[in-house]
Each structure stands twice: as C-alpha cells, then as structure tokens.
Structure 1
Amino acid sequence: MASAGSSANANAAAKFWDYFQAEKTQITAHVAQNDVQNRVRELDSKVREALIYLPAYDQKQLTKELDGLRALVQKSNPASSRNTGFRFKTATARPSVAKQTVEEIVPVTEPVTNPTDHGSASTPSILFSKIANQWIVATSNDNDATDCELRDISHCVVDLRAVSHHIRALNCHRMKDSIVICHPFAGSATIRDAQNSIVILGVQQLRFEGCKDVDVYTHCTSHPVIERSTSMRFSPYPAFVHSIEKSQPSLHDKIEDFNWLRRQHSPNWTLIDPETLHVLWKLLEDPKHPLHDALTHVPQ
C-alpha cells in the first residue's frame, strides 16, 4: 500500500505535469512575443523546484521538453536571447591563459517578469556570457537577483561567493577548462555541457547534463543527477571552504545516473577526497589571482 507521502508526491507530480503542459502550449502559441523567453526561464525555475518530488522519468522528459522550447524560442525570436541580464565592464577574450585579467564585477540586473503572476514584482537575473581567460569576481550591489546564468565560459575562474546569498538557481551552459566557486545557497544548480572543470558549491538540487571530466565539491541535500555524463568525480563540500549546517546531511555520494539502469555502480562517476582541494584552494584565495596556476588543477 502506498504511503501518504508517496501519494501526495504522486498527486503533486500529476498536477505539475498538467501545469507544465499548459505553459508549454501557451509558450508555443506566443513564441514570437518579446516576453516568451521570460516565461521559459520561469518554467525552468518551476521545474527545478519540483525536482524534489517529480519521478525520474518526468524529470528527464520535462528537461527534454524545456530544451526544445529554448531552441524554438531562439529560432523564432533570436533577438530575445540578447541584451539581457548581466553586463560587464569588459569581456574581451585573451589569446593566452598566461595573459590574464581580474575583473571585479557588480551585477547589473534587468527584470524578468513572471507573466503568470500579474501585478507581482519582477525577478532580476545575473548573466555571465562569452568570457575567456579571465578571473571573474562577482561583487554584490545588494540587489534581489535570484537566478544566475553562466554561458560559454572558457579558461576562467568564476567566483560567485559574494553574490551567493542572492542566488536561488544557478544555470551553466557550455563551460570548459574553468572553475566555479559559490557558497551554499537554498536552491538548485544545473550544469550543461561542461568539460575539464571544477565546481564548488552547496545546493538543494544538483544536475549535470552532457558533462565530462568534472570535479564536483558539493553539499547537496538531495540525490545529485547526472545524464549523458562521464568521468564525473564527487566530493563533500570541504569544511575549510565554508561552514555547513550539520542538521542538513549531504547526499553528494548518492548519485543518480539516468543513463545507467543496472544495479551495479555506474562507471560514469567516482568519489574523491575533499582534501585534494587544499592546494588549489590556496591559489583560489591568493589575492594575486594566479589564473594559470589555478587552472592547472582542472581535470584533463
């Protein structure tokens, strides 16, 4: 007999599926409108919040449908994906890792309105996009941003610690030979198409898609999910980086591999000792920001 908790989760999952399909229909019907990308962003946030009770099949299916919506929006209205979110003082790529810049960046946010909540306050977002060979230090301007996105990041250190208390959801798309640092926050993180990188963060939900050779130091209160990913290495969030509330146990070692359905351990992920981060952490805390030395620690 199903427990009351499982029945409640099943009912919630069924209601959310209906909600998602209704939103998808509206987005598809109004794909040419300027606010449609905001609706996709909001729907993406709702999906991440629902991961805690959605069954694995629904998670996989809804993620695929979201990807299809993003592609449809970009194809139908390419201008909607530009000139939004975070702006830089400079974002000039350097030809060599040996030549580096250190940017202290104050987030400049733009409103992302939720069209389903008429009259409600808009939700700002932070965006880092198309950065290469830089050490980025995000600095807070006490805004209320709740979503942070990293896109097309290469040979960079991205330090989000100063703005982590603003973040509800972190999305990363296409990252290579880079390091991302973020203090624990009450939300979710989705990393897509990352390669030869290191991720240091604490979240409630964590998901990797299409990733390879990524070291993950995390405190995650739900089972981390990997899909179409290989050579993933997981470790608990090191105590010397940031203190974690002990009443919330970490499930960093309870990985769910959506592409491995056998009872045996998935060959796509392993565990590593958090002490392996010590040498790199000294470099990350160095005020001189030795970019080249830090990036020698990313997995190859």
Structure 2
Amino acid sequence: MEGETATSPPTDLSNPTKPLDHSLQKRHQAMLDRLSNRHQTLTKSSSSSSATESTAAFLSKLSDSRHSIEFQLSESSKLAATDIKLLKSHLVDISSSISALEQLVAENSYLLPSYELRSSLKAVSELKQSLDSLNAELVPKKKFSFKNKSTSKSSLSEPKETEITKPEVPKPAFAIRDLPGIRNKENGILTKNFRSSETGEFILSDLDSCEVRLIGCVNAFFINRLRNCRVYAGPVMGSILIEEVENCVFVLASHQIRIHYAKGSDFYLRVRSRPIIEDCEGVRFAPYRLSYEGIEDDMRKAGLGKDTGNWSNVDDFKWLRAVQSPNWSVLPESERVGVIELKDLGSMSGAS
C-alpha cells in the first residue's frame, strides 16, 4: 500500500506469521531507538577520549608546575634576609621556570578548549606579576653616587653595595631554544620550503628590514624581535608565538596565535581560535592573503581549510573593559595588500 515502508512489521516469536499488536510494536521500536542512541554515544565518546586524556594530562602538569613555582616564590623572603646573591640567582631560576611553563601552554594551546586556555594563560600571567613584585620588594635598587676617578686596587677587588642591580628577567624559552630557523639578518630576502625538508618547529629571530617567504607546513612557529619586516608563511599545524615586533607585516595561518609586545604592525590571519594580543599598540588585522601552488592541500593538512572569520575576533588580555580595546583595529580594505603569490622556493636561504 502506498505510504507504507518496505520493511515488514515485527512478529510474535511464538507465531512468526502473526504480527505484533500496535503497543508491542511501539515498545519494540523504542528499544531499537535506545540501542541506536547508546551506540552513537559510545562512538562519540571513544573518538573524543584521546583529546580529553591529553587535556587532562596537560592540566595535571600545569598544576604541578604552578604549585612548584608558587613554593619557590614563597621561599624568596627567607633568602632576602640572608644572602642577596643567592636571592638574585633564586629569582632568575623562578623566571626560567615561568618561561618554561609559558612555553608548555603555547605548545598545547591548540589542544585546549577556550576556557582552559584562558585559565592557563591567566595562571602564567599571575606568576609573572608575583615575580615582578618580589623583584621590586626584595632586590635593592642601584644607588646613585659620584665616583672618584682615582680608585685604589683594594676598592676594585671588593664588591660594593652600590653595584648590586636587579637581575634581568630572561626572555621566554622559545626565544633561546636551539630550533631550526633564520636569525640575525638585515636587508635580505629569506626563503624556506618546508616540503623539501621537514621541520617540526621553526623560529625567526633578530631580523631587520627583511622579507621572509615560507612554503609548506610546520607544527609550531616562533617569531622574536623583528623590525621593518614582511613575513609570508604557509599554514602552521599548532601555534604561533610572536614577541617584540615593530612596523612589520605578517601573513599567517594557524590554530592559535598569540602576539606580545607588537607595535605598528599589520596581521593578515586565518586562525581557528581568537587571536590573543598582550602589551600591544597600533596593531591591525585583516584576512589571510597568501597563495602558492599546493596551498589548498597544505591548509587541509593543517586543519585550516575553512576560514572561520576569527581574524577579526581579537582578545586583548591587558584590556578588561567592556568597550573594544584601543590597541587593535580592523585594517581598512582600502589599505590592505592584494593577494601575495609565492613561487616554488626550492631549499632554504639565509637560515642558521
């Protein structure tokens, strides 16, 4: 009959030729629905279990590291009363531990839910503030004094209180790690094709007035101390960390991008999560504008095949008011560059 399904109604097991009555059919269908829903739930749970386990392992490690650093901070006051040199060394060690923790958060950021990422970054920021407060409170400031030009040998051999200075806080761990990359260049065109030689992590550091062209994918990308540079890069499968850049243009794609101490720079982005800025000024954002042969395949490989539009959803972690931060803006269309076309770059040029 028209409108009926092709399947036969369930039958009575004691009499297979006799269909079940209507109420039994309903109970039979409800049982099938429950089994189907349970199967879907178990399948979904299985597919997400590995990601959940990774997040849980990271949060456990973060908690252990944070408690260790907090204990080190609490011990600082005891050293201030006994040995100022030991205190300075102790504070430098704490700073290194905080930098290592910050690096851990960056490397796992693309695995973390937005809430966990925010909480982790806030925890690191609070540790930094605590360390800064201890430095200001416990380490004596250098005293100003006029020095006599004629200094005796004995006075040269004896350290004076006036020579004690606040220990310099080390740069973040990624800035000093021994990663493959391009460093200490000026006025050059620097290229790298990651397809010709696989690279897990890559760094650009201490560049001035350079143009950098990168084709292919990497797992993580670090950018540190660039001035007057142009950086055009294929997709990054994990995170990008940028620090201390000025008057630069970046064309970047990644799952998560964090920008620290940037001034007067433009960012053309494709990013899965909201870009994060901190201690920035005069930075502008626009959509990704890079093209080269095979970039669509690289985007799919990195999980960035679709533009989420997050390039304009910027979080300023140092701006807590309800109105938009004055430190960033959307780049006007009339001022945006056209699509940048990169050709096959061959092997690396200018790397260290």
Q: TM-score range by the shorter chain?
A: 0.5 to 0.7
Aligned to 2:105: 47
- Specify the code of the residue in structure 2 equivalent to 1:251: N
Q: Which runs of 5+ in 2 are unaligned?
A: 1-47, 74-88, 90-95, 132-167, 346-352
Summarize deviations over 1:147-196 as a string: whole Å, max 9, x none: 111111110011122xx42x211111111100111111211111111100
- Specify the code of the residue in structure 2 equivalent to 1:208: I
Name which of 308, 311, 314 aligns with 1:255: 314
Aligned to 1:220: 271
Q: Relative to 1, partners in 2 of residues 1:22 and 1:143: Cα closer, same or farther, differing over 3 Å?
A: farther
Residues 183 and 202, structure 1, Cα contact 8 Å, conserved in 2: yes
Task: Give SS of 1:265's match.
Answer: coil
Aligned to 1:20: 65
Name which of 193, 209, 230 aligns with 1:155: 209
Give runs of aligned pairs for residues 61-80 of structure 1, distance below 5 A: 61-62=123-124
Larger radius of gyration: 2
- 1:127 Cα deviation (Å)? 2.4
Q: Which of the pair is proportionally richer in helix?
A: 2
- Specify the code of the residue in structure 2 equivalent to 1:157: E
Residues 45 and 169, structure 1, Cα contact 8 Å, conserved in 2: no
Name which of 91, 116, 121 aligns with 1:59: 121
- 1:46 Cα deviation (Å)? 2.8
TM-align CA RMSD? 4.4
- Specify the code of the residue in structure 1 equivalent to 2:330: L
Provide TM-score, normalisation by structure 2. Answer: 0.52
Q: Relative to 1, partners in 2 of residues 1:249 and 1:262: Cα closer, same or farther, differing over 3 Å?
A: same
Residues 98 and 124, structure 2, Cα contact 8 Å, conserved in 1: no
Name which of 244, 255, 280 aligns with 1:229: 280
Give runs of aligned pairs for residues 232-243 of structure 1, distance below 5 A: 232-238=283-289, 240=291, 242-243=295-296
Provide TM-score, normalisation by structure 1. Answer: 0.60
Q: Relative to 1, partners in 2 of residues 1:12 and 1:66: Cα closer, same or farther, differing over 3 Å?
A: farther
Q: Distance in 1 between matches of 2:237 and 2:227?
A: 26
Residue 256 of structure 2 is aligned to residue 205 of structure 1: yes
Aligned to 1:120: none
Identity rate, percent: 21
Q: Which runs of 5+ in 1 are unaligned?
A: 32-37, 75-80, 86-124, 288-300
Task: Give SS of 1:171's match.
Answer: strand
| Number of equivalenced pairs | 226
Q: Distance in 2 between matches of 1:40 and 1:160?
A: 31
Greater shift after overlay, 211-220 or 259-268?
Answer: 259-268
